[in-house]
């Protein structure tokens, strides 16, 4: 009887020992995972120095490769990040694919980043790539990113693409994109800006009568957009309408808002405002507008000539 009980107890103890080992092993694995997670978060939040973070990432954690890749990117090791993410990308991990886009951005492989962000339909990321490419004078890469953003979301992508074309001096293409947006998107918070951009693009092409029609249509939709009145007055003046007709629109622009106090960053706007003030006989504000234009471009001949004429006339 005693031997039977001893055998049963031994079997129970062995079972208990194995159970404890399994539980301890699970606790150990969980502890390693959670400890690394906490240390990773501390690193991301800059609460520990980089050399304190463990380079051992528990492979049992489903996000381990993501964390290692982010840590590599944050430390400027984009190639390492791509190597880490390779396996999970092949497996169809979309988040890993987007992390790889960040790595490609760091490597200035803007074309690869654009393809991934377009697939993810991430317009802000595409605009970020376009800006980075533009800053590096990689104009074709910038165009690809702006164009991809426009394809993904014409509502948010139209203005950046149009402004890219305008900076490049491609006004006919900018005009086409704006007209398409106004026709295809009858409800958008950007419509008033599209109208004012289109009016400006037509002015750049000396299409004064078309500009008159566009700015009038824009004013009908939004009578509070001062730039539309400014464009309309300029279009009237250049198209040969009576001066008082143009001046009336200029005065509406002034009544709509205080143009000269606005943070206008476009030198073309300052030049147009300067001419407007000249036409209505406000010499002081005309001089101020040309001076602000020259603060953006000290070599602008038109602003220099108008300013010299105004100041020398006494």
CATH code at position 306 = 1.25.40.10
Tell me, what's the pLDDT at 160?
97
Domain assignment present for 280: yes
Domain assignment present for 309: yes
Domain boundary among 223, 249, 275: 249
Q: How far apart are CA 300 and CA 148, in angstroms?
A: 34
Chain centre to alpha carbon of residue 67: 26
Q: State whether 274 and 187 are in the same domain.
A: no
Q: State whether 216 and 238 are in the same domain.
A: yes
Q: State whether 178 and 245 are in the same domain.
A: yes
Domain assignment present for 221: yes
**76-124 pLDDT, tens per residue?**
999 999 998 887 887 788 888 999 999 999 999 999 999 999 999 999 9
Q: State whether 202 and 267 are in the same domain.
A: no
For the chain, what is the domain count?
2
Q: State whether 262 and 234 are in the same domain.
A: no
Q: State whether 226 and 170 are in the same domain.
A: yes
Q: State whether 202 and 265 are in the same domain.
A: no
Q: Name the 3-class secondary structure at 252.
A: helix
Range of the domain at 309: 258-314
Domain boundary among 249, 272, 293: 249
Domain assignment present for 47: no
CA distances from 130 to 76, 113, 171 (A): 20, 10, 19
Q: State whether 210 and 262 are in the same domain.
A: no
Q: State whether 245 and 210 are in the same domain.
A: yes
Q: How far apart are CA 109 and CA 117, in angstroms?
A: 13
Give helix then strand counts, H and E, for the chain: 16, 0
Domain assignment present for 170: yes
pLDDT band at 263 (very low <50, low <70, confident <90, very high): very low
Tell me, what's the pLDDT at 3?
52
**132-160 pLDDT, tens per residue?**
999 999 999 999 999 999 999 999 999 99
Domain boundary among 249, 268, 290: 249
Domain assignment present for 271: yes
Q: State whether 188 and 206 are in the same domain.
A: yes
Neighbours of 63 (CB within 10 A): 15
Neighbours of 149 (CB within 10 A): 28
**217-259 pLDDT, tens per residue?**
999 999 988 889 888 988 998 888 877 888 788 778 767 655 5
Q: State whether 195 and 163 are in the same domain.
A: yes
Domain assignment present for 266: yes
Domain assignment present for 295: yes
Q: What is the mean pLDDT of residues 265-269?
A: 67
Cβ atoms 239, 253 nearer than 8 A = no
Q: State whether 229 and 286 are in the same domain.
A: no
């Amino acid at each position: 009887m005693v031997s039977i009980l001893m055998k049963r107890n031994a079997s129970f103890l062995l079972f208990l020992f194995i159970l404890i080992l399994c539980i301890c092993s699970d606790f150990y694995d969980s502890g390693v995972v959670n400890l690394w997670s906490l240390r990773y978060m501390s690193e991301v939040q800059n609460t520990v120095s980089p050399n304190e973070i463990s380079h051992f990432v528990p492979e049992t954690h489903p996000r381990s490769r993501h964390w290692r890749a982010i840590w590599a990117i944050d430390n400027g090791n984009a190639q390492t990040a791509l190597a880490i993410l390779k396996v999970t990308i092949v497996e169809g991990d979309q988040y890993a694919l987007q992390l790889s886009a960040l790595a490609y951005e760091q490597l200035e492989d803007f074309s690869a980043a654009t393809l991934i962000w377009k697939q993810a339909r991430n317009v802000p990321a595409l605009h970020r790539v376009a800006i980075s490419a533009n800053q590096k004078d990689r104009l074709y890469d910038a165009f690809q990113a702006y164009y991809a953003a426009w394809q993904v979301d014409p509502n948010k992508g139209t203005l950046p693409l149009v402004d890219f074309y305008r900076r490049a001096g491609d006004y006919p293409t900018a005009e086409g994109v704006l007209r398409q947006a106004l026709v295809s998107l009858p409800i958008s918070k950007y419509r008033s800006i599209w109208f004012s951009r289109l009016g400006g693009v037509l002015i750049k092409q000396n299409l004064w009568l078309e500009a008159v029609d566009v700015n009038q249509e824009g004013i009908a939709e939004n009578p509070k957009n001062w730039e539309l009145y400014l464009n309309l007055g300029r279009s009237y003046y250049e198209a040969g309408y009576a001066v008082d007709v143009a001046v009336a629109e200029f005065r509406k622009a002034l009544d709509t808002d205080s143009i000269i106090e606005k943070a206008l960053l476009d030198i073309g706007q300052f030049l147009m405002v300067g001419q407007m003030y000249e036409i209505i006989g406000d010499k002081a504000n005309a001089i101020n507008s040309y001076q602000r234009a020259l603060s953006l471009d000290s070599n602008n001949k038109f602003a220099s000539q108008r300013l010299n004429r105004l100041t020398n006339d006494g």
